[in-house]
Structure 1
Amino acid sequence: MTVVTAARVVADAVVHAPGWISVEHGLITGVGAGRPERPDHDYGDATLVPGFVDIHVHGGGGGSFTSGDPASVLQAVQANRRHGTTTTMASLVTAGADELLASVSMLADLYRDGVVAGIHLEGPWISPHRCGAHDPRELRDPDPGEIDRLLTVADGAIAMVTIAPELAGGPAAIRRLADAGVIAAVGHTDCSFAVAQQAVDAGARVATHLFNAMRPIHHRDPGPIIALLGDERVTVELIADGTHLDPALYRYVTRTAGPDRVALVTDAMAAAGLGDGRYRLGQMAVDVVDGVARIAGTPTIAGSTTTMDQLFRRAVHAWAPRESDAEVSAPPTAEALVHAARQTATIPARVLRRTDIGSLETGRRADFVVLDADLRVADVVVGGAAVSA
């Protein structure tokens, strides 16, 4: 058995300060308060948080899940792991039927090898009016035959599918996916409030990056955002990177829906963790300027370049008092650390229906991130084994 200790250990609903974790055979065997006399490793003035779980990410570190290349997928997974993401769901973008089938087949093999935690199909069944960085030439209505072919090839690897429910066959597709155990998500949609409600009644349980690529709120036509935000059955994704959403909106959603219905996601592309330049997202050329990714030659945002550790820090600071800059830079409160950990690990794991990850609790896999005094990644541990950060 291995015992580690640190100044703070963020457990499910409490911060042990100081605290410890015991690990055996890759699993957590105990978590508690205090400093053991003879720990195997003392992380000093560090904070241990659950390994981050990203349920919506397209790549990172120059690697991409949309490339069709297993080596590129592994590159992306490893790059995001260095930023604390210990569980990654691979998100695909809109593509032609044959290309999509081939990508799903390749990622399904990597899912069975444990490289990725599942596949997220973000498209091609989305609205042409809200397609964002997706290739509009490949958009189509959900076809039962295509859905069945993809589910067959994936053999359990498809975990989530984003659909615009106003499309012809949209509600039936949501029911088909839900019946197959796939998480149906509402996103890239121009639907009405009523249609969004119908989608949830049909089985949709996630809002894909709420606000982004959705019909905006209007006082006489509230649209999908209000329907999804107001339904307790729905977990809402937020890209709280300061580009996709204003921090005030993140705070508003968290306090309106409650912190336990918010899953922070990166929606990151290959440029995450790298510098400015020209990249690709599926078939689309993307320019990254000052850290913001946009479809080349347009103002359209194309995913993000953020990482989960950055989202964790933003979430912590968003819970800080707002009265002065001095207070914002003060040490984080236990409440802020707990909420940030839940939104970057516990709730995304719950979306994936995973009870073996997402929290520092006895019996769960020993995945945790070591954060320094500035909440930056100092080390990453996956299944009890340290990964170079």
Structure 2
Amino acid sequence: MNPFTAAACPRLIVKVGSSLLVDPTGAVRRDWLASLVADIAARVRDGQQVAVVSSGAIALGARRLGLAKGGRASLEDAQAAAATGQIALAGIWAELLHGEGLTAAQMLLTLDDLEDRRRYLNAAATLDRLLRLGVVPVINENDSVATEEIRFGDNDRLAARVAGAAAAQGVILLSDVDGLYTANPGSDPSAQHIPRVDDIAAVAHMADRGSASGMGSGGMVAKVEAARIAVAAGATLAIVSGRPPHPLVTYAESGHGTVFPAGDAAPARKAWLRGGLTARGAIHLDAGAVAALREGRSLLAAGATRVEGRFARGDLVVLVAPDGSQVARGLAEYGHMDAALVVGRRSDEQAALLGYAPRSALVHRNHMALL
């Protein structure tokens, strides 16, 4: 069974890349977009709830403002182009969806909206209500206010994070490439297409950082990272060519692309932790602590070897094995300075070092998600 049918995937996130939606002159590829909207409408009539993550605002705005380098010459240009282009982008989506009898809604998100737990829950509640009402949310990064410190930087990872917030079962990344290859097919004619990936870590080195068109901000690295986030949230992700008209129908008929099958669906809080992008620091562990975490235990100070970064209590940190691999993500029970004081220490030593009664763990198992 196709994993993206309404029966198998009641909620679907579809991401559209800039190079598909906007031509090299900065004009909307309207006929192509109308064909995609028709595909979405057919899925909604079939009972599927669909949200769209749409790039293109900066490219559209840059054309209208006459900005060089597609509006990406500076942060200020990108923000101005996004503010100008987003209203045009939303209008085109709303018009075409209305023509298919559907209502569009707009959601603009920054990284902080999905990394801060309270704001994440607010976004999730809005998405859930819109989808239950039969509305098609059209989502984009809020590039008019985002800076390097508070931005996703690509809509592939945004789409995967939205999938977690919406409790979606699937993500389709419509791109100018048709999936993951063993090497860059543009420069290596021997590159082989990979139809399915069950071990993301084993293929991460195959990803190329550049976008084929030069218009977008992603690349295969961002898509593989998006797959990691989606799979951790229990959603299957596919990288699919969006070049032909009716790309969703084309994919449903051909099945050609690269699929990353969903992992076991984690509880909502654990999925949010797994998908976090802005870890404030790292805690390095010994082999015994790694084994304890995999048995479902908390991280005790005695099993830590050192800390990195500047983090406060409640910040997201990654837990790192002796070989440098990430074992888990969790919320720190201590700030970095106090954590450094108790690293490697038994619980009966910690009170004297801290000057107060120690907490039960550096990272509690209830606030931790294994990777």
TM-score when scaled to structure 2?
0.33
Name the structure where helix makes up a greater proportion of residues.
Answer: 2
TM-score by length of 1: 0.32
Task: Find the structure with the greater CA-based Rg.
Answer: 2
Q: Which has the higher contact order (CA 8 A, sep 6+)?
A: 1
Structure with greater strand percent: 1
